[in-house]
Amino acid sequence: MDPNKKLEWTALEYEEKERGNDWFWTLGVIIVASSITSFIYNNYFFGLFLIISGILLGSFAIKKPDLVFYELNEKGLKIRNRLYTYENIHSFWVQKGVKLKPTLFIKSERQFMPIISMPIKQYNAEEVRNFMLKNGVPEEEMKEHISEKIMESLGF
């Protein structure tokens, strides 16, 4: 393998969803109703928590996704400015298919949320797979976490 070879790509941080006014009204009604119910039952902390959570969800829904830079090089996988060395990547999986979004999954050494997923281009999926295999990273089938599917169905 050429030591100077590297793969670079950029992708949006997440898929931007178009949310209409109905989505924000629904969020507001749910938050207000839940908070009032919490206050009626003297659970002030939870009511306040719901209000803060609703504000954060609304602001997150408005935020535009950032463009993220990815690079596979001789040392490891670089996401933005963070380098995951091949020694610290336990395994990987390249998801590709007709109905599936091309995605690279890596299982890292992180204790909290060790599986990281990142979008890749359909045309370089096989190249990414070969790059990881040539650097001694074992292949292990992984799928999108159920929480991501739930969030996607809720419009996030």
What per-residue confidence (pLDDT) applies to 4?
57
Give the burial string for 128-151 (b: 16+ CB within 10 Å, else e).
bbebbeebebeeeebeeeeeeeee
Show pLDDT as tens, one digit a residue, over the chain (156 residues). 455 588 898 888 877 888 889 989 999 999 999 999 999 999 999 999 999 999 999 998 888 888 999 999 989 999 999 999 999 899 999 988 777 788 999 998 877 878 888 888 888 888 999 989 998 999 999 887 777 777 777 666
What per-residue confidence (pLDDT) applies to 156?
65
53: its two tokens: 């959570």
pTM of the shown model: 0.72
Give, in order, the Cα–Cα distances in Å from 90 to each of 19, 57, 134: 37, 33, 14
Do the beta carbons of residue 138 and residue 91 sit within 8 Å?
yes
Domain ranges of the chain: 21-62, 67-153
What per-residue confidence (pLDDT) applies to 45?
97
67-153 belongs to CATH 2.40.30.10: no
